Every structure is written in structure tokens, then in C-alpha cells.
Amino acid sequence: MGHQGGARHERRISSVFLGVCAVMAVTGWAVWTGYSASAGLAVFLFVTAAWIVSLCLHEYAHARTALHGGDLTVGAKGYLTLNPLKYTHALLSIVLPVLFVILGGIGLPGGAVFIERDRIRGRWKHSLVSAAGPLTNVAFAIVCTAPFWLDALEGVPLAFRYALGFLALLQVTAAILNFLPVPGLDGYGVIEPWLSYRVRREVEPLAPFGLIAVFALLWIPGVNAFFFDVVDAVLSALGVSELETYCGRDLYRFWQKGTGLCEVPQD
């Protein structure tokens, strides 16, 4: 009985996560109704809260898949509660990704649930644990863009439409970056179990620098342009135009003077 109670406690959704969800719901309502005096501030709070929710779900997906793969320690570490404060690196998992969204409008892959890989048997299970996180971003992107590809935008307020477009951009960038087969990113985690022991040993020291290398490359104009061409192509396939994602980013960064292309009527 005590063991069952402990297991339930380990999987109880945290009040921190529920609080972030409440902020997302209230600010989403404010964006939809135009209740806020500043559409930009409402979009900023809504998208930031939704982005944090997606980061929590990303890490939860890793942990939950690891649990079913054989790592029973994830519960005791608090990873199944969706509490972002339980991650081994709250800075890497939450603070930096939010900062990157604010500064550059890009979905930085967070990542800091410590999986005890030696407890997991089978290469497919290891690959699935790594893939589970970015697949959550893919699912989030599909949900965000549903009104676009279902052609159900009638009645959706402009500000909310722009906010969804920008949120979808963040999810798509996070999914693409995470799936890159670069040491330290989930994409490498997917293929790593299938590599020879020698290759894994040689690549292992590079893991802490993988993400840094990717972002250094994104500073190169040609690479950056190619990356966002791919992102725009994916979003376009999901029915979201470049104008909508641009206006979402413009509204989100409400402290900057906009171009005037994205004026949202206030009630």
C-alpha cells in the first residue's frame, strides 16, 4: 500500500506545472477576447507560458518512455510530476530556452532529465527514449497549426492566430534542431545505440559542445537562411504563412517598435 502511495505521489502533477497551465489559459483567453490593453503583452505571456508547458512535456516524454524502458528511478527524481524545477539543469531546460525565445525567436532544445541508460535494455528502447522529446514538439506543432490546416480560422481573432503561428514556429525549430544527429542532441541519441562502441567512445567528449556548435553555425547568414527556409517550408505545409509567423513574433516582442504590418484591432 505504501509503495502504491509513493508511486502515485511520484506521478502527481505538480502545482508549478498547473500554475504555468493556468497562466497559459488566462492569457490565451486575454489574447482571444482582446481583454488586455496591450495585445503584445498578452501574446508574450501566452506564448511564453505555452512554450514552458511544451518544454515540460518534452522532458516528461523522455522520462515516461525511459520508465517503460526499464529506468524506474525517474519517478523518485520527480520527472513524472511535470515540475520544471525538478530537472537536473533548470537553467538549460527552462531559463535558456525562454531567453532564446525572447531574444531571438528560436526554439532552443532544452534537455536535462538524467536517464540511467544502463537500466534500459535494447537499442530500440534507447532510440525511443531520445526520440520521445522532439516528437512531443512535433505533436505540439500539429495541435497549434490545426486551425490552419483544417481551414478553421473563421472567427479566430487575428492576435490569437498570430500567436499560434509564432508558437508553431518555436515548436518546429525545436523539433528540427533536436532531431539533428549532433552529439548532445536527441537526434544523436536516436542513432547512438546503432553505432559501434569505438565511434561512441570517440564522439562522447564532443557531447557538451554539440548545441554550442549548432548555434554558432546558425550565426552564419547562409546557414541561418537555409534553416529558416526549411522551417518556413514545414509551416507552409501546415498552412501557416510567413506573414503570420512574422506578425506573431512582432506582437510577442511588444517592447520593440513594430513595422506596422501587423496591426491588431483592439475592441
Q: How far apart are the first and last CA of the chain?
A: 56
Q: Is 59 a catalytic residue?
A: yes
Q: What is the crossing angle of helices 221-237 and 242-252, to 10°?
A: 110
Say which amino acid occupies 97.
P
* Cell of residue 236, nine digits: 507552409
* Cell of residue 104, nine digits: 531571438
Q: Could you tell me where the beta strands, DSSP code E, fall in 26-180?
A: none
How open is the CA angle 186-52-242, to the nearest 5 degrees? 80
Residues 117 and 126: beta-carbon distance below 8 Å: yes
Q: Which of 10, 59, 154, 244 is catalytic?
A: 59
Active site residues: 59
